[in-house]
Structures are given as C-alpha cells and as structure tokens.
Amino acid sequence: YDGTWHRMRGSKWSVLVFYPSDDTPGCSEQLSEFASHYDELQELGVEVYGVNPAEAESHRAFAEKLGLPFPLLTDRGAGVCRQFSATLPIPYGIKTIRTVYLVNPERKIRMANRGAPSVEAIIRSIQALKVTKGGM
C-alpha cells in the first residue's frame, strides 16, 4: 500500500492472509489478531502479508485505522489471489476468499486453511515444522 514491491524472503517464513475486503468486521478481527501476535511471529522469523485486490489508498486507511505492523499488499487484477486459489468467480468479477497460507523459507506451502485459523494454531504449526528437518 506504500508503493513498495514485496517478495517473500528466502530466509524467512511467510504468512499470506488473503482477505475479502478492507474495513469490514471479519477482516478487521482477523488482521487485528495477527497484529496482536506480530512480535511473537517476528521472533519466530515470520513475515505477515495481508493480500487482496483493493487499491493502495483503501489498504493504507485500513492499516492505519487498525495500527497494523505488517503490509497490506495490493493485488491488482487478483493474479496472486488466483494463483493461491483464494478467489471465487462471481457474475461481475471475482471475490477474494478468506484463506491463510504458511510458506517456508524454501517457498513451499506448509499450511493452507480456508477461513480464519487462530494465530495461536499457526504459531504452533510453525514451531512444529521448524523442529523437523528444513521445515519440511
């Protein structure tokens, strides 16, 4: 939302949070939960990215309103949402489906979940996977 391009870094785990819309109750609750656990996620070497096709100004206002410490990425045309199967076709375009992915440093998807899994469950998954060789 700030004009910066983002890439998943090779040495970090990433959580991609695909969410339907800025400034709605469900999305606000979900992203606020990630914000409240952000320091713990950072200690585990995890970057968090919120993703949907909304424009940068909408993301900026939403992130500022919630005080989000992680970026909300503008996915113009919803190409990334489609690549991660986080879309649903509707008569006048597409809708982003609430979906969370955990991606290891080798860019392998280690968890995929429709809906809003608890951040505590995601943290437990990261901890368990880090114990295995190379994060499986």
Among all residues, which ones are annotated catalytic?
27
Query: If DSSP states are collapsed to H, E and C, what string results for the chain?
Result: CCCCCCCCCCCCEEEEEECCCCCCHHHHHHHHHHHHCHHHHHHCCEEEEEEECCCHHHHHHHHHHHCCCCCEEECHHHHHHHHCCCEEEECCEEEECCEEEEECCCCCEEEEEECCCCHHHHHHHHHHHHHCHHHC
